[in-house]
Amino acid sequence: MLLPLNDRKDLLPFVHKLIEKCTEPYWLAQEKISPSVCVGISMCPDDSSQFGALIQHAEAAMFEAKQQGVPFRVYHQDMHSALTQRLEIEQGLRRALEHNLLNVVLQPKYNLLEGKTIGYEALVRWHDANLGTVAPDIFVAVAEAVNLGKQLDRWVIDTVLQQLSLWQKAGLQPPPVAVNITSKHFSDPELFNHIMTKLQELRLVPSSLQLEITEGVAMDKSPTTLINLNAFRSAGIKIAIDDFGTGYSSLSYLTSLPIDFIKIDKAFVQALESDHNLSLVKAMLAMAKAITVQVIAEGIETHAQQQLLASLGCDFGQGYLYAKPTSLADIEQQLISVN
């Protein structure tokens, strides 16, 4: 959108009015739709006198608004390097997905009382020849922003299921592996069919796979999200809410969802010595017990944390106390040793 601007003071009132109009709820097929919007702003001649550059600057501002969860941002010079980096990551990630240059590692999850492995969480790692090692929180955020989240999820799902199939054919018995699903992908009507088709092709039981979603996804009241949640539960695929406690869940709504686990975020676990955090963790455990949902604590690093969580009734845990994310080859050797 290109606008004449006689006075800079007129800009923000217009932007606020634009956002207000764009986010007005509307009804579609008897469903109330509440749109969201992120606006990026660049100005001529302050930011550039070239139309192409102004578009790029506005895009950089919009991307920063999305990352920060705010409705708009005005371009500033520091955004240029951020946009350049994002474009490099996007191009590299597309190349990595096309040429199978990503790696999956597994972090074990343990029964806190018995110390036995009860499953794994699949995590993605990426080392690019030009960019070096790119942190997962950075490239996953870029993937979601440029509509690569679905492709990334499917790559991880397919890689995990293929590995489980190979282990099964070798006579090994790995516990379930959980895969994180990006926010937009879980509302995809094709997700359930894709997973079930892959499971059938590889002759794997549905319970061999678990899915992890964020609180934001769980609280999405779109029909497709609820349909997928119920479909996966009926098929025998368990669902966990990841990083629980960092979002804004409605407890009354949460109790109605077909979920199997909540995962307490590591920020709470690593600050258990704080009375405030300890009270919050106790409240989460009490809530989970009330709705018959099991609890996995993330980021356990000390025996004191493990013992306290177990004494409070936490079921399972994962973290560096037990094991760091481990290569598939090393996991295979561990499975062979206990087989």
The pLDDT tens digits of the residues spanning 94-116 come to 999 999 999 999 999 999 999 89
Mean pLDDT of 191-214: 96
The neighbouring-strand residues paired with 110 are 117, 317
Contact status, residue 234 vs residue 262, Cβ threshold 8 Å: no
**Average pLDDT score over the chain:** 88
pLDDT score at 52: 86
Burial class (CB in 10 A: 0-12, 13-18, 19+), 301: middle
Give the tokens for residue 309.
């969580």
Instruction: Answer with the residue of higher pLDDT: 226 or 198.
Output: 198
Q: Which CATH superfamily is domain 91-338 in?
A: EAL domain (3.20.20.450)
pLDDT score at 223: 83
Q: Helix H segments across 236-302? A: 251-254, 266-269, 275-290
Q: Which of 2-6, 10-14, 50-54, 126-130 has the lowest mean pLDDT?
A: 2-6
pLDDT 10s digits, 113-124: 998 999 999 999
According to DSSP, the β-strands at 117-128 and 72-74 are unpaired
Q: Which of 3-7, 52-56, 232-236 has the lowest mean pLDDT?
A: 3-7
pLDDT 10s digits, 143-154: 988 889 999 999
CA 143 to the chain's CA centroid: 11
Say whether pLDDT at 326 is over 90: yes
CA 204 to the chain's CA centroid: 24
pLDDT score at 170: 95
The count of other CB atoms within 10 Å of the CB of residue 172 is: 16
pLDDT score at 150: 93
pLDDT score at 247: 62
- List the domain boundaries for the chain: 8-76, 91-338
pLDDT score at 62: 87
Q: How far apart are CA 316 and CA 258, in angstroms?
A: 19
Say whether pLDDT at 181 is over 90: yes
Nearest to 298 by CA among 313, 314, 286: 314
Q: What percent of the chain stands above pLDDT 90?
A: 52
Instruction: Answer with the residue of higher pLDDT: 14 or 313.
Output: 313
Cα–Cα–Cα angle for 241, 86, 76, rounded to 5 degrees: 110
pLDDT score at 206: 97
pLDDT score at 253: 67
Nearest to 148 by CA among 89, 231, 202, 106: 89
Buried b (16+ CB within 10 A) or exposed e, 3-23: eeeeeeeeeeeebeebeeeee
